[in-house]
Amino acid sequence: SIGSETNGGVHNVLVDDLTMDGTTSGLRIKSNDTRGGRVDGIVYRDVCLRGIRSPIEITTHYEQPAQPGGLIPEYAGIRMERVRSTTPGRILLQGYDAAHPVVLDLRDVAIAAGSDVKQEHARVRGTFSAGADCTDRFRPFPEPVVRNPRPQLTAEQARAYDYRTVLQYVGPVGSERVDPWDPLADPLVTNAGLKADYTVDARAPADGTTRFATVQAAVSQAVTAGGKRRIVIGIAPGTYRELVYVPPGAPPVTLIGTGADPQAVRIGAALDASTTGETYRARHAAQFEHAAPAVRAMYDTLKDLPALQTTGSATVWVRADGFQARNLTIENAYNRDGAVSHAECKGDNCPDTTGGSRVHHQAVALRVDGADKAQFERVHLLGLQDTLFLGSQDGSATVRSFFHATHIEGDVDFIFGDTIAVFKDCDVHAIGGRTASYVAAPDTNRRAKYGFVFDGCRFTSDAPGPAGTQFYFARQWFHNERCTPYGFIPVDGYTCRLGDVDVYRAPDGTIRKRTLETVGKAVILRARIGPHFEKTTPWSEWNRNGTLAHRPAQYGSDDYWNNLAGTKFDPAGALGDGPRPVPADVYLGEYDNTIE
* Catalytic residue set: 386, 413
**Residue 42: C-alpha distances to residues 73, 106, 169, 498 (Å):** 15, 12, 67, 46
Q: In the 3-class helix/strand/coil scheme, how is 157-214 assigned residue by residue?
A: HHHCCCHHHHCCEEEECCCCEECCCCHHHCHHHHCCCCCCCEEECCCCCCCCCCEECC
Question: Quick one: angle between helices 215-225 and 277-288, nearest 10?
Answer: 60
CB hemisphere CA count around 412 (13 angstroms):
22
**Residue 546: C-alpha distances to residues 149, 340, 504 (Å):** 21, 30, 15
Closest CA to 567 of 519, 516, 518, 521: 516
Phi, psi (deg, nearest 5) at residue 78:
-100, 130
CA geometry: angle at 293 spanning 290 and 299, to 5°?
A: 80
Phi, psi (deg, nearest 5) at residue 403:
-120, 125
Type of residue numbered 134: C
- Is 36 within 8 Å of 71 (Cβ atoms)? yes
Q: How far apart are CA 506 and CA 290, in angstroms?
A: 48
Would you call 335 helix, strand, or coil by DSSP?
coil
Closest CA to 236 of 193, 269, 266, 265: 265
Q: Is 65 left (phi over 0), alpha (psi -120 to 50) or beta?
A: beta
DSSP-derived secondary structure letter, 359: P
Closest CA to 530 of 586, 587, 588, 469: 469
Type of residue numbered 404: H
559 alpha carbon, distance to own chain's centre: 11
In which order are the strands placed within the sheet that holds 116-120?
25-30, 54-59, 90-94, 116-120
**Residue 135: C-alpha distances to residues 16, 57, 140, 259, 393 (Å):** 17, 22, 10, 79, 62
Q: How far apart are CA 467 and CA 414, in angstroms?
A: 19
**Residue 290: C-alpha distances to residues 200, 208, 231 (Å):** 17, 11, 20
